[in-house]
């Protein structure tokens, strides 16, 4: 494989050439972005590796878009350095992951970087920037825009790609609907059943795990269903949710908390203050990403000591129907972009039939989008990612037999 390295570090170029030679790769080096683009235009590269030192601190990430367009199907890796401020570096990492790049975090020696690049080129793409904890919040700007679906699909994809315990916490206190989407006939009492322990402040990780439901095809995904009684939303205190989160972070390796689109309750506030990563979900409709964003995030986040850049942008229902794209929205809102989930016309049919798990395990456009976001979140935590299953055999067989006559071996 031919590999292009765009970096002014000659020591790294020499060390990487020696390392890749053991795999039979040939390395071409470019000292600057212009030279790299010229070589990339020649084609024939299986991978391109770029250093962020090639651009000044005042420049945006448009130069990476030029490389992405010319790279075609080549694997793309960006090496981050400490040359840029930490906030800009984190933003670049998320933008790159959203666009399909792999990342190498800063703080490593030349030999370590060369070895890591070789592993990424011939093994798992698992490099990233660790976050302070494993609690990820999904919060929407507007109700009914797919926040719960996004949180569930991403959590499922994370469970599929790792052996870690993934906890999905349904913390929509205003009326959780996930049980319906999963085809359960009655709302489980999982969340309400923990009230005594939450009030006493002695909820144990074991007790929490015991109240979670699990999917047969995703045994490492633990689902705590949320509150279904809207009138009880105000009964919960921030301290009680803090205790729940403490137990959850001990019970699970990664926790995905779905707090829906209501900011005026204890669950949303507690998760927002404790989360290591906050994902703001919105749509390309101006009423969502402009008006609701201004009324909720811009107005309330400063009350908790947060600013817009402390949230990552996830755009749902994206497509060609709206003038604004995810990148334009991110620039206008001042948020780093973590990904987008395209409009899925058949999603409502899956939800009404209680087949959300089937949709998330499938290979539709939206499910693939959620899987890419899951891989980005795992990469940010430096978690190795295994390849997803080739196909959901169970669901494929069910679709094959649904509505058809089963033919016996004799053709009868």
Q: Over the stretch 375-405, which tens digit does the pLDDT of each residue have?
A: 999 988 888 887 655 444 444 444 444 443 3
Tell me how far apart the alpha carbons of residues 228 and 412 are, in angstroms, rounded to a whole number: 49
Q: How far is CA 363 from the centre of its chain?
A: 17
Tell me how far apart the alpha carbons of residues 28 and 41 are, in angstroms, rounded to a whole number: 13
Q: Single out the residue of 180, 159, 208 nearest to residue 374, CA to CA.
A: 159
Q: Domain 2-122 - what CATH class?
A: alpha beta
Please report where in the chains the tokens 């709206």 appear, as a residue: 322
From-to residues of CATH 3.40.50.2300 in the chain: 2-122
pLDDT at 42: 85
From-to residues of CATH 3.40.50.300 in the chain: 135-390
Reported pTM:
0.75
**Beta carbons of 388 and 360 less than 8 angstroms apart:** no
* Cβ burial 128-145 (10 Å sphere, 16+ → b, else e): bbebeebbbbbbbbbeeb
Q: Over the stretch 220-240, which tens digit does the pLDDT of each residue have?
A: 999 999 888 888 888 889 999
**Beta carbons of 101 and 77 less than 8 angstroms apart:** yes
pLDDT at 135: 95
Which overall architecture, per CATH, does domain 135-390 show? 3-Layer(aba) Sandwich (3.40)
Q: What is the dihedral of CA 114, 25, 97, 124, to 10 degrees?
A: -80
**Beta carbons of 148 and 279 less than 8 angstroms apart:** no
pLDDT, mean of each 10-residue run, the chain (412 residues): 92 91 89 88 90 70 80 89 83 86 84 86 52 81 95 96 95 90 81 87 93 92 90 86 94 96 90 94 95 91 85 91 85 93 93 95 90 93 71 46 36 30
């Amino acid at each position: 494989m031919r590999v292009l390295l765009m970096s002014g570090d000659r020591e790294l170029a020499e060390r990487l050439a020696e390392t890749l030679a053991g795999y039979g790769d040939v390395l071409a080096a470019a000292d600057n972005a212009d030279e790299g683009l010229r070589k990339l235009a020649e084609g024939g590269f299986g991978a391109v590796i770029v250093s962020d030192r090639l651009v000044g601190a005042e420049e945006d990430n448009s130069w990476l878009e030029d490389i992405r367009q010319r790279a075609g199907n080549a694997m793309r890796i960006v090496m981050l350095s400490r040359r840029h401020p930490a906030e800009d570096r984190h933003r670049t990492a998320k933008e790159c992951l959203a666009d399909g790049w792999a990342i190498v975090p800063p703080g490593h020696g030349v030999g370590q970087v060369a070895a890591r690049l070789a592993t990424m080129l011939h093994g798992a793409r698992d490099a990233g920037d660790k976050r302070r904890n494993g609690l990820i919040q999904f919060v929407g700007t507007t109700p009914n825009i797919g926040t719960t679906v996004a949180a569930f699909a991403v959590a499922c994809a994370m469970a599929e790609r790792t052996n870690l315990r993934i906890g999905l916490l349904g913390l929509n206190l205003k009326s959780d609907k996930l049980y319906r989407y999963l085809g359960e006939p009655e709302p489980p009492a999982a969340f309400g059943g923990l009230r005594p322990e939450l009030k006493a402040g002695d909820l144990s990780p074991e007790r929490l795990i015991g109240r979670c439901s699990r999917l047969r095809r995703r045994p490492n995904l633990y689902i705590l269903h949320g509150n279904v009684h809207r009138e009880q939303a105000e009964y919960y205190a921030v301290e009680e949710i803090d205790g729940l989160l403490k137990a959850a972070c001990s019970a699970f390796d990664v926790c995905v908390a779905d707090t829906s689109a209501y900011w005026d309750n204890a669950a949303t506030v507690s998760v927002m203050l404790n989360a290591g990563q906050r994902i703001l979900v919105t749509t390309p409709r101006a009423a969502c990403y402009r008006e609701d964003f201004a009324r909720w995030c811009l107005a309330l986040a400063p009350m908790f000591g947060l600013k817009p850049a402390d949230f990552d942008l996830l755009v749902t229902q994206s497509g060609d129907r709206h003038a604004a794209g995810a990148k334009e929205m991110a620039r206008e809102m001042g948020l780093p972009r973590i990904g987008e989930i395209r409009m899925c016309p058949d999603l409502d049919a899956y939800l009404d039939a209680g087949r959300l798990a089937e949709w998330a395990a499938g290979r539709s456009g939206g499910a693939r989008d959620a899987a890419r976001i899951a891989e980005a979140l795992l990469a940010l935590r430096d978690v190795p990612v295994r390849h997803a299953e080739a196909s959901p055999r169970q669901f494929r067989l069910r679709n094959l037999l649904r509505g058809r006559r089963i033919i016996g071996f004799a053709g009868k």
